[in-house]
């Protein structure tokens, strides 16, 4: 058995009287796409917040590459190779696409304050690497033609892809995407889906949240269904889809229909 890239063990989070996440366990292998699906309020975002260090779990553990990283802050986790995007679009609205991506790459390649101040060879080399890396990310996300456009002037779908790009610029080993297609047209959704496939082809594992059953089952190797903070089902898309009774009972007929 190889060590999973990400392993969540019995993770729980309580907000006052509300059990937002309860005893959640899952694993993500390298290059795997895991989908998390469930109705509003199921605890999907909280689960991602717990894993990415935005909030601390009430109990349970998070392992990255076999190392216990429970409770570590987001910027520390980024350096360990785990990044996440937020449900709302998070781009630097007044900056160009190129500048946005550069900010994503910055932390990893930043050579230190003094090196930058005195423009040492190390700082120049880091800058050249940043530029090359940003160009590469722009290329594989198809953002080159927007390189010098201000983020706020871009269509919403492109802003969503840019939000992913900022995360990818930090060279993660795993990226967690919270509703990357919320509010997008069918065409934009297809583009994001194809982009996520490309991300995986680059050797990066993906955890993707959505409430659209078709989108998730099309894209993912494995699916985790959540309801009221708990796991309802977990497995290959085919097996989860076959679990009609569960889906109907907990997610409503709408979800049961979406599979047909």
Q: Note the residues at the interface with ligand ADP (CB under 6 A).
A: 15, 18, 20, 38, 40-46
* Shortest reach from residue 177's CB to ligand ADP, in Å: 13
Binding residue for Mg ion, selected from 13, 20, 33, 45, defined by CB under 5 A? 45
* Shortest reach from residue 93's CB to ligand ADP, in Å: 24
Answer yes or no: are the C-beta atoms of 184 and 156 closer than 8 Å: yes
Cα-Cα-Cα-Cα dihedral sign, residues 81, 87, 92, 98: positive
Q: How far apart are CA 106 and CA 10, in angstroms?
A: 34
In the complex with ligand ADP, which residue's Cβ is closer, 141 or 177? 177
Look at residues 170, 171, 174, 163 and name the one whose alpha carbon lies nearest to residue 69.
174
Residues in Cβ contact with 229 at an 8 Å cutoff, skipping those fewer than 6 apart: 13, 19, 20, 21, 22, 24, 42, 43, 46
* Shortest reach from residue 179's CB to ligand ADP, in Å: 8
Q: How many residues bind Mg ion (CB under 5 A)?
A: 2
In the complex with ligand ADP, which residue's Cβ is closer, 36 or 134? 36
Q: Which does 46 bind (CB under 5 to 8 A by kind): ligand ADP, Mg ion, none?
A: ligand ADP
In the complex with ligand ADP, which residue's Cβ is closer, 39 or 111? 39
User: Per the structure block, which two tokens stand in for 259?
Assistant: 């599979």
Among 44-52, 74-82, 134-142, 225-233, which window interacts with Mg ion (CB under 5 A)? 44-52
SS percent in the chain: helix, strand, coil, step 5: 45, 25, 30
Count other Cβ atoms within 10 Å, centred on residue 197. 14
Among 9-17, 22-30, 37-45, 142-150, which window interacts with Mg ion (CB under 5 A)? 37-45
DSSP string of 10-63, one letter each residue: EEEEEETTEEEEEEEEEEE-TT-EEEEE--TTSSHHHHHHHHTTSS--SEEEEE
Among 36-44, 47-55, 183-191, 220-228, which window interacts with Mg ion (CB under 5 A)? 36-44
Distance from the first to the final alpha carbon of the chain: 36
Among 38-46, 49-57, 61-69, 131-139, which window interacts with Mg ion (CB under 5 A)? 38-46
* Shortest reach from residue 226's CB to ligand ADP, in Å: 7
In the complex with ligand ADP, which residue's Cβ is closer, 20 or 154? 20
Q: Which does 15 bind (CB under 5 to 8 A by kind): Mg ion, ligand ADP, none?
A: ligand ADP
Which residues of this chain interact with Mg ion, rule CB under 5 A?
44-45
């Amino acid at each position: 058995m190889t060590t999973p890239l990400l392993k969540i063990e019995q993770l729980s989070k309580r907000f006052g009287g509300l059990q937002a996440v309860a005893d959640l366990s899952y694993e993500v292998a390298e290059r795997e796409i895991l989908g998390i699906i469930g109705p509003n309020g199921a605890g999907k975002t909280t689960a991602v917040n717990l894993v990415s260090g935005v909030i601390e779990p009430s109990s349970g553990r998070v392992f990255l590459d076999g190392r216990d990283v429970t409770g570590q802050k987001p910027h520390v986790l980024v350096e360990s190779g785990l990044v996440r995007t937020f449900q709302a679009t998070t781009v630097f609205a007044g900056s160009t696409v190129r500048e946005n991506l550069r900010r994503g790459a910055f932390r990893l390649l930043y050579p230190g304050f003094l090196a930058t101040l005195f423009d040492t060879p190390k700082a120049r080399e880091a800058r050249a690497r940043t530029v090359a890396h940003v160009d590469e990310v722009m290329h594989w996300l198809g953002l080159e033609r927007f390189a010098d456009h201000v983020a706020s002037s871009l269509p919403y779908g492109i802003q969503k892809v840019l939000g992913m790009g900022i995360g990818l610029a930090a060279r993660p080993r795993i990226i967690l995407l919270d509703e990357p297609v919320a509010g997008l047209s069918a065409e934009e959704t297809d583009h994001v889906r194809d982009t996520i496939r490309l991300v995986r082809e680059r050797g990066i594992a993906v955890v993707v949240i959505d409430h659209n059953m078709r989108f998730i089952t099309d894209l993912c190797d494995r699916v985790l269904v959540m309801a009221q903070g708990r796991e309802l089902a977990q497995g290959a898309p085919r097996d989860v889809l076959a679990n009609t009774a569960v889906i109907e009972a907990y997610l409503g007929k709408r979800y049961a229909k979406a599979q047909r």
